[in-house]
Structure 1
């Protein structure tokens, strides 16, 4: 049996890729549809 300190698990595939919802990271929790729509529209303009 190997020592736990020697264990180097491979990162999960999801951890290595950008999350599908990463573009919503700067939206406040609890924001509604209107706030999300406005945020996405602003990002498109940039």
Structure 2
């Protein structure tokens, strides 16, 4: 049996536009709910 800490999954290669979270690429890491909501609202207006 192996520990989960030893598991090193390989990243799945996908085009940025195909990823489910691609619409969040412009958001800084650590952004909160308000920043994400504002970003999505701005994208909707475009």
- The normalised TM-score by structure 1 is 0.64
In structure 2, what is the Cα distance between the partners aligned to 1:39 and 1:15? Answer: 23
The runs of 5 or more residues in structure 2 that have no matched partner are: 1-11
Instruction: Give the match for residue 14 of structure 2.
Output: 15
1:34 deviation in Å?
A: 0.2
Give matches, 1:1-46, under 5 Å: 15=14, 18-46=18-46
Higher Cα radius of gyration: 1
1:15 deviation in Å?
A: 1.9
Provide the aligned length of Structure 1 versus Structure 2: 34
Please give the root-mean-square deviation of Cα atoms over the aligned residues, in Å: 1.9
